Structure 1
């Protein structure tokens, strides 16, 4: 019964996609790369539960919920993976770059290292099974530097992961805290992609969290603040081989660059104007279908700095996956700009093809 209901939901998503999406359905166009997609490895979540970690999270609704109110299931079960691939096919998306939503940021070093290895192994196992459809970003056991550096080595060299992901804030530290300099240095040495993601802490502000705005308003605020932190830290300027992706078009950054050029030098010692530093980073396209936000970002950053990102599956209760992808084709962008956003920029960032060097048994080992 569950399978019938779930596949009914897929049919709803695909039918809606077919009526909304245009220009991306030919075989030639089925090469899109979505850099901002999430997976919920079941063993990893079970491990976190054993550590006593409980935090608000949006899990898939009951299988009998109406299709229009459902979020696509996103675990690593075979059924959920098949559903994901079906939706990818209908949206013309070739690959998902997978990352978890919950970082392995545990106080105990050993537990954090175990959690990071577990989530990376579980996600890498999906990539091994479907290497043409999935790639992945490695999670790091921050704030523990030695353990994080060891995990970079293992995740890149053994699991063949394509980059790393760090949350905008690690506990009470910014992702740009000087403590993390060795991590940036190593990722830069490798010419790696670093994908940022909000931790949904509402910037630790009662003005965001008390009205329960940490999910609706908090993430774009985090994105904006961390982008400015990168400007102040000069990390993008000092680590030129590091490819930083900030999600959700970096919140409100596009409309703030002129203001930051004028006023940020008054309070910080910068390597260059913020508008220049902004173009040393990349930004994913997840903006809940806002043409105003996307056009502002392209004007501010350039089409060569925008990559396709859906935040899969978090928009699926509100629109189909095909609609999330397809709105970009309706913005009136030039063919060359659309090509860059939908695949060209991501292909350039991920041009270093990685493949796991481990035997399959590595992915079945106990953490």
Structure 2
């Protein structure tokens, strides 16, 4: 039987120990401070026909000079999230946070989260204290995740540098940093060397679909790489629909993404429910769906990435 309810690949949680830090970070970037608890999350999901939300903690887990603290925080967050999933496995999934740029710590946490906590995938930020994911130092992590055919959510964070006054980072800087991370991965050959990793770019991939032909010019600047290579590797990514269903953004995303690589995302609670329902309406009301395409975005494509959530 086909289940019409959505699988939300981009939903967040805020563990109680991280609530104050998360609220402070939201205030610092000029974004509404999120409020989250399990009961309100499930109520939101019921109102928006979301069967399962894959949870992630989308914030740095430590200061750049405190790798031990980052490891400890990542472990606490991942164990807390795993307990939520254990209690309600049909309603929640889990992207484990990794303490990058500490590669050894990230390798250890990925193994623990995937093997012991049964996480559905891992999450990395678009830059780890200024170091982008195509950095050669991160190669051991990508090799390990490729060996596991892991799903990786590449969640944006603020780029290095000063934010623009009165312009919240999530509005303008996050899509820019997603784009920067995606191109950095591609020009450093990570998706091509590690094709078994399934990487998700939130928010429709930032500016990737719209700017893909421009980004492909990077192929002319690197020996042995062509613009066609860059485009092909950019299309290896999966993309979620969070904040990306407007009348200009959604057609661009659908024109660029490879078949089967667009997934539903809410970005709750970072995107408040009253905002998110408008984006849901944009998705549902898009006039150019072909037969089965909307169901694939809402659920079917995610079932391919997360077989445990597939309907029997």
TM-score by length of 2: 0.88
Question: Would the alpha carbon gap of residues 288 and 256 (structure 1) be closer, same or farther in structure 2, given more than 3 Å must change?
Answer: closer
Question: 1:37 aligned to 2:6?
Answer: no
Aligned to 2:177: 222
Select 2:250's aligned residue among 289, 294, 298.
Answer: 294
- Judge conservation of contact 1:105–1:112 (CA < 8 Å) in 2: yes
SS in 2 for 1:216: helix
Residues 56-89 of structure 1, C-alpha deviations (whole Å, 9 max, x = no match): 3159xxxxxxxxxx87731xxxxx3122112211
Distance, in Å, in 2 between the alignment partners of 1:150 and 1:329 is 41
Distance, in Å, in 2 between the alignment partners of 1:302 and 1:54 is 36
Residues 248-279 of structure 1, C-alpha deviations (whole Å, 9 max, x = no match): 11122112222333x21222243752221122
Question: Would the alpha carbon gap of residues 43 and 112 (structure 1) be closer, same or farther in structure 2, given more than 3 Å must change?
Answer: same
Q: Which runs of 5+ in 1 are unaligned?
A: 1-26, 60-69, 75-79, 354-367
- Judge conservation of contact 2:241–2:265 (CA < 8 Å) in 1: yes
Cα deviation for residue 335 of structure 1 reads 2.8
- Judge conservation of contact 1:104–1:115 (CA < 8 Å) in 2: yes
- Judge conservation of contact 1:288–1:315 (CA < 8 Å) in 2: no
- Judge conservation of contact 1:303–1:337 (CA < 8 Å) in 2: no
- Rg larger in 1 or in 2? 1
Aligned to 2:42: 85
Question: 1:94 aligned to 2:51?
Answer: yes
Aligned to 1:316: 272
- Judge conservation of contact 2:179–2:206 (CA < 8 Å) in 1: yes
Cα deviation for residue 28 of structure 1 reads 5.4
Cα deviation for residue 161 of structure 1 reads 0.3
- Judge conservation of contact 1:303–1:341 (CA < 8 Å) in 2: no
TM-score by length of 1: 0.76
Aligned to 2:35: 73
SS in 1 for 2:170: coil
Distance, in Å, in 2 between the alignment partners of 1:32 and 1:318 is 18
Question: 1:285 aligned to 2:285?
Answer: no
Aligned residue-pair number? 303
Moved more, 309-318 or 153-162: 309-318
Select 2:299's aligned residue among 343, 352, 358.
Answer: 343
Cα deviation for residue 313 of structure 1 reads 1.5
- Judge conservation of contact 1:145–1:180 (CA < 8 Å) in 2: yes
Distance, in Å, in 1 between the alignment partners of 2:148 and 2:205 is 24
Question: Would the alpha carbon gap of residues 331 and 97 (structure 1) be closer, same or farther in structure 2, given more than 3 Å must change?
Answer: same
- Judge conservation of contact 1:167–1:197 (CA < 8 Å) in 2: yes
Cα deviation for residue 44 of structure 1 reads 3.8
- Judge conservation of contact 1:71–1:317 (CA < 8 Å) in 2: no
Q: Which aligned pairs between 1:108-147 and structure 2 lie closer than 5 A?
A: 108-147=66-105
Distance, in Å, in 2 between the alignment partners of 1:302 and 1:179 is 29
